[in-house]
Amino acid sequence: MTTSYTTTIPDPAEVVALRLLAAVFDVTVSISDQIPRVACDVCGLEGAETAARVHGDPAEDSTAPTCTDCCVTCIPHVVRAAHWELRDGSRRGVRLEVASWAA
């Protein structure tokens, strides 16, 4: 049996974009292909499709981190809400996953 490895060298522009996102929103950013492309429930605007997933970590119950899928327009709002819920007891910061099709 052979094992195949896929090496992906990120596009430099993609890396810059992700670092910019991380700095602007004070989050850890990654790309994911696990985000379903469906209507955005956060804004509910017609044609708005989920393109990101924001993971929060409210200290009140850090055994149940929050997870919100949203469209590109809603990212700042959802990230702000996730930051607002963070407290000193939060074990992780806010993480932002961007859908691979939107990156």
Site residues for Zn ion per CB under 5 A: 40, 42-43, 48, 70-71, 74
Angle between helices 75-85 and 12-25 (to 10 degrees): 50
Specify the residue, 27 or 52, whose C-beta has the smaller distance to Zn ion: 52
To Zn ion, the closest distance from the beta carbon of 60 in angstroms equals 25
Helix H or strand E segment including 19 = helix 12-25
CB 94 within 8 A of CB 17: no
To Zn ion, the closest distance from the beta carbon of 23 in angstroms equals 22
To Zn ion, the closest distance from the beta carbon of 55 in angstroms equals 17
Specify the residue, 90 or 98, whose C-beta has the smaller distance to Zn ion: 98
Specify the residue, 53 or 90, whose C-beta has the smaller distance to Zn ion: 53
Long-range contacts (CB closer than 8 Å, 24 or more residues apart) made by 75-78: 75/25, 76/25, 77/42, 78/42, 78/52, 78/54
To Zn ion, the closest distance from the beta carbon of 24 in angstroms equals 18
Specify the residue, 50 or 90, whose C-beta has the smaller distance to Zn ion: 50
